[in-house]
Structure 1
Amino acid sequence: MVRKGQQGQQQTVKAARRPELRLPELTGWGGGELEPDGDYDGLEFADLDLAGQEGIGARFMDCALRRCALDEAGLAKARILDSVLEGVRGVGTDLSGASLRDVELVDARMGGVQMHGAVLERVVVRGGKIDYLNLRKARLKDVVFEGCVLVEPDFAGAVLERVEFRDCGLRGVDFSGVRMADVDLRGVSVLEIARGVEALGGAVISPGQLFELAPAMAAQLGVRVVP
């Protein structure tokens, strides 16, 4: 799909830049609990129960977290850089104010993840299912959601730039007050907008999605459709 610029020329939607991860040879995590402001570099956390551990402000660089439990883990303001999170699971994980850059999140099974105020740049979320993801007032730039299901995600007040949704489901999404630029929703298989249909300026949708969203858009404009 294309759009016309001010001079009438056609412009394609700007694609998100994906992370290019090349993890070094990793060292297995030797055990113990995460520590606030901890510094973790070149480590692999595999098949661990990290539930309830406190890593507030921690830094993860060139790391892999595989099949770890993150229930109620405290990772507020953590920095996750050039890393892979694969098969992680958990409820109530706190990543509020965290920074994720050049990260792949693969096949996650999570619920109630707190990421309000977080900053995501060059992040791919591939596969899996996340319920009640809180991204209020977060900043997302060059982020791709691919083949995943998001149930009642909350983007209220967030800023989305070059964000793509590919072959994924958005159920009960809240876009209230979102600012969008080059947000591609055409690949969403299920698009259910609970709130914020008026904030879709800057997004790209398909003709079929426009037809499905027409009643909500008409209601937002105060238009009555009478046969």
Structure 2
Amino acid sequence: MQRAWRTSKRPAHVSRRSSNHCICRVNLWTLTMAAIRDTQPPRLPKFPMGGEGLIESRLSLLTAEDDQDSRRFFDQQASTIDMTAAALLNCEFRNLAIDTIIAERTHVNHVLVDSCRTALLGIRSIGMENSIAVHCSFGAVQANTAKIIGMEIRGCRIDYLNCRDAICRDIMFRDCEIGELDGNDAKFSRIAFAGTRIDVLSLQHAICADVDLRGARLREIRNVDSLHGTTMSLEQIADLSEVFARSIGIRTQ
């Protein structure tokens, strides 16, 4: 007697369940990969170095609550410059040595600062856009509660950079040396560091998005649990493994 063989069929509900499960897994994978996107670079200002048609001016012209447009300040020295609540548009500052600069609540747009040095730069609550600083030396930069959008900082030395409670977006630090960057409670987005040394970095309670630290040489990070929204390389994380371990109570021997 020949035995009859029948091919069993999977119930329809089982097939649909398996299909739905696969679709869910595909959707989850798609959402995960969408969330893991490339770090967005800063959108930097573009204007020529060395604007034409600027008026050669003296530093004594810079006073509080005054507006300056299309001026060049070149090769001068001063003890204190107070530009509180002033406005600077399309200006250049070159080869200046100023002990103290106060520019709180000042509006700055399209400004070039080249080869300048100051011990104290007080720019609390400044509004700065589309500007460039190159080959400058700053002692303490007090930029707390500032709003800085679209800036390139190249070849500069900053001993202490206070950006507490500031809003900073589209900023590039290139070939700089920063003693301490205090970004506690700040809002940082699209900020990158290329060839830049940072001795101490603090981002406690900061809100970061697209903050690219891969080009930074970091020596110390405070509050490493506040690094959400930053991008680092595996080599950096390995170099700072002891710092990370210490922050969560792990003793290394």
Which residue number in structure 1 is paired with residue 33 of structure 2? 8
In the alignment, structure 1 residue 18 sits paired with structure 2 residue 16 = no
The aligned counterpart of 1:213 is 240
2:106 to 62, 74, 78: 78
Cα deviation, 1:45-100, whole Å, max 9, x if unaligned, reads 11122431211011110100111123212111111101101111011121111111
Instruction: Single out whichever of 174-183 and 17-26 deviates more from structure 2.
Output: 17-26
CA contact (8 A) 1:84 1:105 kept: yes
Unaligned ranges ≥5, structure 1: none
Q: Is the CA contact 1:105–1:124 (under 8 Å) kept in the aligned structure 2?
A: yes
Q: How does 1:139-218 map to 2 (within 5 A)?
A: 139-188=167-216, 190-218=217-245
TM-score, length basis structure 2: 0.82
Determine the C-alpha separation between the residues in 2 that align with 1:105 and 1:27. 20
Identity %: 24
Contact 2:166/2:186 (8 A) holds in 1: yes
Amino acid at match of 2:96: C
Residue type matched to 1:25 in 2?
A: G
Question: Secondary structure of 1:161's partner?
Answer: strand
Given that 2:221 and 2:243 are in contact with CA atoms closer than 8 Å, whether structure 1 keeps it comes out as no
How many residue pairs align between the two structures?
222
Which residue type is aligned with residue 31 of structure 2?
Q
Residue identity opposite 1:56 in structure 2: T
3-state secondary structure, aligned to 2:247:
helix
In structure 2, the residue matched to 1:54 is 82
Runs of 5+ consecutive residues of structure 2 not aligned to the other structure: 1-28
- 1:5 and 1:27, CA in 2 relative to 1: closer, same or farther beyond 3 A? farther
Task: Spell out, residue by residue over 1:89-143, the C-alpha distance to the aligned partner (whole angstroms, 9 max, x if none).
Answer: 0111211111110000101111012111111111000002110121111111000
Q: Distance in 2 between matches of 1:40 and 1:67?
A: 19
The secondary structure found in structure 2 opposite 1:153 is strand
Between stretches 213-222 and 132-141, larger displacement belongs to: 213-222
Query: Which residue in the other structure is 1:222 paired with?
Result: 249
Letter in 2 for 1:216: V
SS in 2 for 1:198: helix
Q: Distance in 2 between matches of 1:160 and 1:31?
A: 33
